[in-house]
């Protein structure tokens, strides 16, 4: 058994900023002065000192797997910057003035900071933006100040930012801003632009065994997910938590997280809470960051069950569509038969994990001693940054918040280890004052209630469904005349679903869709949509199910699903071969088109995977093939002689290799075969492939071959024949002396050249 040194469990989320990304932090709109014609030549930039990133990473490697502290994404750098000692003032023709200061930090993936002193006149406005204009936060006004006179500012995904304060003439000299620290981001969070030292994994910031909350598995939990938010804590860390309901049902913004995420009340005043940071698609790795709230105050916390209840300084805007989750404080194991968690690992988009068995009480002693214990997640997992996230029981109410554990991804599956959550039932009545228990805050009327539903249950429709994924998700085909399709439907209402009525529209022509059955609340069913005859070009399949149980579904957004399927008019078939090294669980790949869209991807692979052979269909055009290794040592040659090869239908190598570090990118362009070449390519093949000792060249009819050549991986011809006729099934080549590798077999006929890739394994 080969063992590598312990590796950093770090993958990162790439976000391409197009135009200006505006991040709302209960901001008040507008834009900086002369925004469209801005010029930074007059702005003085303050440069942060270089950071010891390697030392930070070594610390993270030890701390991240424990989940008993916030996931650190940046280093706080102490500064002393204010409107008097830094930056510059510019006076405007109308008598107003503007203060600007730039801050840069070489190599930073993001910058964010705290105004530890924030004092604005009534009409003063503050903006913060990336120096290249790609991202803008603000405006902030006097209404944004916290109870201690400070303001935490959200993340700007750039290594250079500009702060701009517009002070009206009537209030000159009355405003004051001071910054005491700036955070240099060194690994991505919330979808920030990745560092040159890092790369994005196939599932964003988190391990590949995580499941996006908007995957089919998570769709039945659409109400619960709306309470969960990611927190930027201490200006440089990430935790998770959830809004919680109280018996007054007044939407007071109480937020439950872990005690170990709360270093001090003044820092909590500068927390930033991001809601609805979800990927729209199951395989997406970016989500909105434009719905946030800044600042909170601790109401209660306790080490015994590692809980903290904070109250946000501002109400959550109605436009965020948030729910306040219910809870079960009975602490009864008999009330729990299964559980699930919703969380933000590493600040990534929202994920979900499932415990199919009943978690149980455990006393660990010391930190977070009274917990719900989960032996192993059946599906999904938690990671650093998930700390404080809610644990829901099978009824969809919170029974605890994540305190720690060793569960993590091991390649594309979880590692089979445990997690533990502080218990709501213990937090409910611990200690002798309201500052150490939940009861006083979540049951302000002293009703004695120990179970409360979420704030959205009353509005849950009786007859409501949500369409899930199509059964066949492939969207490009080279040679197909009939396409079989189905779709998953979830019962997200409060009634059993016995009938569905709608339409299936294919290329503009609609047919009725009628389904009958018995779909339980929270259950899922698969509806067969039938066969479709694809046409050349883009084919559109639209499923619309507006009627449930004979009544109109009141939430139509979940009743419409569209898929575009391309049957290429000029398609090109490519073949991907990967001969893995000893660690397939580190390997992933992507094919990206010219507009940056991922067309195909794969990884991470199981440890017993030896060889991958895929035939893929692409349209004419240009692409980039990306080969990745998350340990940073490629797939050859220290831990096995792995290699990869991407070839077209003629056998031409488009990308190949094996020796690289984190990743290797190869650009290539494809042109469809001529009719004769395409016909020729379909007339012959090599069997077996892969092969060990002998190959047989088979044809569908006799081909007059002018020449036959075999090329080794270096391009050297190692075998050839001329002027022969290949009879189907009769032409054999002895390859027993050939080393393992990828070879090209090429024939030339009157129709032209045609090639086949041959994989030889020993």
SS3 letters across 149-162: CCEEEEEECCCEEE
End-to-end CA distance of the chain: 20
For residues 24-46, give the mean pLDDT.
74
Reduced to 3 states (helix: H, G, I; strand: E, B; else coil), residue 218 is helix
pLDDT bracket for residue 148 (50, 70, 90): confident
CA dist 600 → 194, 483, 665 (Å) = 21, 19, 14
Write down which residue in 150, 185, 220 finishes a domain.
185
pLDDT at 4 over 70: no
C-beta atoms surrounding 84 within 10 Å: 11
Same-domain status, 681 and 666 = no
For residues 206-228, give the mean pLDDT.
91
pLDDT bracket for residue 525 (50, 70, 90): confident
pTM for this one?
A: 0.60
Same-domain status, 151 and 123 = yes
pLDDT bracket for residue 619 (50, 70, 90): confident
Q: What is the pLDDT of residues 365-386, one digit of tens each?
A: 656 778 999 999 999 999 999 9
Same-domain status, 691 and 664 = no
C-beta atoms surrounding 216 within 10 Å: 16
Confidence (pLDDT) at 195 = 34
pLDDT at 568 over 80: no
Alpha-carbon gap, residue 463 to 472, rounded angstroms: 27
Among 179-193, 213-227, 683-697, the range of highest mean pLDDT: 213-227
CA dist 95 → 84, 85, 166, 548, 550 (Å) = 19, 22, 11, 63, 66
Reduced to 3 states (helix: H, G, I; strand: E, B; else coil), residue 12 is strand
Burial category of 651 from C-beta neighbours within 10 Å (exposed 0-12, middle 13-18, buried 19 and up): buried
Q: Are 386 and 345 in contact (CB under 8 A)?
A: yes
Residue 6 lies in a domain: no
- CATH code for the domain in which residue 722 is found: 2.60.40.1930
Write down which residue in 148, 168, 185 finishes a domain.
185
Alpha-carbon gap, residue 431 to 234, rounded angstroms: 27
Alpha-carbon gap, residue 493 to 726, rounded angstroms: 65
Q: Which of residues 67 and 439 earns the better pLDDT score?
A: 439
- Radius of gyration over alpha carbons of the chain, in Å? 30
Same-domain status, 507 and 579 = no
**Minimal CA–CA distance to 24: which of 137, 131, 156?**
137
Residue 314 lies in a domain: no
Confidence (pLDDT) at 427 = 96
pLDDT at 200 over 50: no
Contacting residues for 209 by C-beta, under 8 A, at least 6 apart: 380, 381, 409, 410, 411, 412, 413, 414
C-beta atoms surrounding 87 within 10 Å: 23
pLDDT at 546 over 50: yes
Same-domain status, 89 and 164 = yes
Query: For the ranges 100-114, 219-233, 623-637, 746-760, which has the lowest average pLDDT?
Result: 746-760
Q: For the chain, what is the largest distance between any 2 Cα atoms, rounded to a whole number of angstroms? A: 97
b/e 182-207 (16+ beta carbons within 10 angstroms → b): bbbbbbbbbbbbbbebbbbbbbbbbb
Residue 238 lies in a domain: no
**Across the chain, what does the average pLDDT equal?**
83
Same-domain status, 659 and 605 = yes
For residues 639-654, give the mean pLDDT.
89
Q: What is the Cβ-side half-sphere exposure of residue 540, based on CA atoms within 13 angstroms?
A: 10
Residue 278 lies in a domain: no
Query: For the ranges 292-296, 472-476, 570-574, which has the lowest average pLDDT?
Result: 472-476
- CATH code for the domain in which residue 100 is found: 2.60.120.290
Same-domain status, 538 and 685 = no
Same-domain status, 586 and 724 = no
Same-domain status, 592 and 540 = no
Q: Are 250 and 215 in contact (CB under 8 A)?
A: no
For residues 571-576, give the mean pLDDT.
86
Query: For the ranges 198-202, 391-395, 417-421, 517-521, which has the lowest average pLDDT?
Result: 198-202
Alpha-carbon gap, residue 402 to 600, rounded angstroms: 35
Alpha-carbon gap, residue 361 to 616, rounded angstroms: 50
Q: Are 476 and 568 in contact (CB under 8 A)?
A: yes
DSSP label of 355: E
Same-domain status, 99 and 167 = yes
For residues 584-595, give the mean pLDDT.
83
Q: Which of residues 597 and 382 earns the better pLDDT score?
A: 382
Confidence (pLDDT) at 726 = 56
Query: For the ranges 8-12, 97-101, 399-403, which has the lowest average pLDDT?
Result: 8-12
Q: State what percent of residues in the chain have pLDDT above 70.
A: 85
Q: Are 753 and 674 in contact (CB under 8 A)?
A: no
For residues 386-407, give the mean pLDDT.
93
For residues 399-405, give the mean pLDDT.
95
Q: Catalytic residue positions? A: 260, 306, 387
Alpha-carbon gap, residue 396 to 711, rounded angstroms: 62
Confidence (pLDDT) at 99 = 95
DSSP label of 729: T
Backbone angles phi, psi at 412, to 5 degrees: -90, 5
DSSP code string of 187-214: S--TTPPPPTT--BBTTBTS-TT-EETT
Q: Which of residues 372 and 220 earns the better pLDDT score?
A: 372
Burial category of 480 from C-beta neighbours within 10 Å (exposed 0-12, middle 13-18, buried 19 and up): middle
pLDDT at 181 over 80: yes
Same-domain status, 70 and 174 = yes
Same-domain status, 119 and 46 = yes
Residue 336 lies in a domain: no
pLDDT bracket for residue 36 (50, 70, 90): confident
Alpha-carbon gap, residue 303 to 403, rounded angstroms: 10
Residue 254 lies in a domain: no
Beta bridge partners of 199: none
Q: Which of residues 683 and 438 earns the better pLDDT score?
A: 438
For residues 322-351, give the mean pLDDT.
91
Q: What is the pLDDT of residues 693-738, one digit of tens each?
A: 888 877 665 566 667 777 765 556 677 776 555 554 467 788 888 8
**Minimal CA–CA distance to 617: which of 495, 483, 519?**
483
For residues 416-420, give the mean pLDDT.
92
Confidence (pLDDT) at 517 = 94
Domain extent, residue 528, equals 465-567
Confidence (pLDDT) at 555 = 73
Residue 594 lies in a domain: yes
């Amino acid at each position: 058994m080969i063992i590598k040194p312990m590796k950093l469990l770090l993958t990162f989320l790439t976000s391409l900023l197009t135009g200006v990304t505006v991040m709302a932090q209960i901001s008040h709109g507008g834009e900086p002065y002369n925004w469209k014609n801005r010029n930074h030549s007059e702005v003085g930039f303050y440069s942060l000192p270089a950071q010891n990133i390697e030392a930070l990473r070594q610390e993270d490697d030890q701390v991240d797997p424990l989940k008993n502290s916030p996931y650190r994404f940046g280093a706080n750098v102490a500064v002393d910057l204010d409107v008097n000692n830094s930056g510059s003032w510019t006076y405007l023709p109308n008598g107003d003035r503007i203060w600007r200061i730039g801050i840069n930090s070489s190599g930073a993936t993001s910058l964010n900071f705290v105004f530890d002193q924030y004092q604005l006149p009534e009409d003063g406005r503050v903006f913060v933006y990336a120096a290249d204009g790609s991202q803008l936060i603000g405006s902030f006004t006097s209404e944004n100040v916290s109870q201690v006179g400070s303001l935490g500012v959200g993340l700007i995904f750039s290594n250079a930012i500009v702060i701009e304060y517009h002070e009206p003439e009537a209030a000159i000299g009355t405003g004051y801003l001071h910054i005491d620290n700036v955070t240099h981001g060194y690994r991505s969070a919330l979808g920030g632009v990745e560092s040159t030292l890092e790369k994005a994994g196939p599932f964003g910031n988190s391990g590949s065994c995580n499941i996006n909350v908007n995957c089919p598995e998570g769709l039945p939990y659409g109400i619960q997910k709306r309470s969960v938010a990611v927190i930027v804590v201490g200006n440089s860390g990430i935790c998770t938590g959830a809004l919680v309901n109280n018996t007054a049902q007044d939407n007071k913004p109480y937020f439950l997280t872990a005690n170990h995420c709360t270093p001090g009340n003044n820092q909590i005043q500068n927390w930033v809470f991001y809601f609805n940071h979800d990927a729209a698609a199951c395989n997406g790795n970016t989500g909105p960051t434009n719905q946030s709230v800044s600042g909170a105050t601790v109401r209660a916390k306790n080490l015994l069950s590692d809980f903290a209840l904070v109250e946000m300084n501002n109400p959550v805007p109605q436009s965020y569509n948030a729910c306040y989750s219910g809870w079960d404080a009975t602490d009864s194991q008999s009330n729990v038969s299964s559980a699930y968690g919703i969380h933000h690992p590493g600040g990534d988009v929202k994920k979900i994990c499932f415990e199919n068995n009943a978690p149980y009480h455990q006393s660990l002693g010391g930190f977070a001693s009274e917990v719900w214990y989960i032996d192993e997640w059946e599906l999904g997992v938690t990671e650093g940054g998930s700390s404080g996230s809610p644990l829901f029981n099978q009824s969809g109410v919170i029974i605890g918040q994540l305190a720690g554990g060793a569960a993590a991804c091991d390649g594309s599956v979880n590692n089979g280890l445990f997690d533990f959550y502080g218990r709501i039932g213990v937090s409910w009545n611990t200690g002798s004052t309201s500052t150490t228990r939940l009861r006083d805050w979540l049951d302000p009327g002293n009703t004695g209630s120990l179970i409360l539903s979420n704030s959205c249950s009353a509005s849950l429709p009786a007859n409501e469904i949500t369409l899930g994924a199509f059964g066949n998700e492939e969207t490009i085909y080279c040679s197909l005349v009939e396409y079989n399709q189905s779709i998953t439907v979830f019962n997200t209402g409060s009634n059993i679903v016995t009938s569905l009525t709608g339409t299936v529209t294919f290329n503009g022509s609609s047919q009725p869709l009628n389904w009958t059955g018995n779909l339980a609340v929270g259950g899922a069913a698969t509806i067969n949509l039938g066969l479709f005859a694809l046409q050349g070009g883009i084919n559109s399949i639209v499923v619309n199910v507006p009627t449930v149980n004979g009544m109109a579904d009141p939430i139509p957004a979940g009743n419409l699903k569209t898929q575009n399927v391309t049957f290429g008019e000029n398609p090109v078939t490519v073949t991907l071969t990967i001969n893995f090294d000893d660690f397939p669980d580190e390997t992933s790949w992507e094919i990206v088109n010219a507009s940056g869209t991922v067309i195909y991807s794969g990884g991470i692979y199981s440890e017993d995977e030896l060889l991958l052979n895929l035939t893929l269909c692409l349209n004419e055009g240009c692409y980039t093939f990306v080969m990745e290794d998350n340990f940073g040592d490629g797939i050859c040659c220290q831990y096995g002689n792995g290699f990869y090869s991407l070839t077209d239908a003629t056998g031409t190598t488009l990308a190949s290799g094996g020796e690289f570090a984190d990743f290797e990118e190869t650009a290539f362009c494809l042109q469809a075969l001529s009719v004769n070449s395409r016909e020729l390519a379909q007339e012959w093949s090599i069997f077996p492939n892969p092969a060990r000792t002998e190959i047989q060249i088979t044809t569908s009819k006799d081909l007059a071959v002018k020449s036959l050549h075999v090329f080794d991986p270096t391009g050297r011809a190692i075998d050839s024949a001329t002027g022969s006729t290949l009879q189907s099934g009769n032409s054999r080549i002895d390859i027993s002396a050939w080393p393992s590798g990828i070879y090209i077999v090429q024939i030339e006929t009157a129709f032209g050249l045609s090639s086949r890739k041959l994989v030889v394994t020993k």
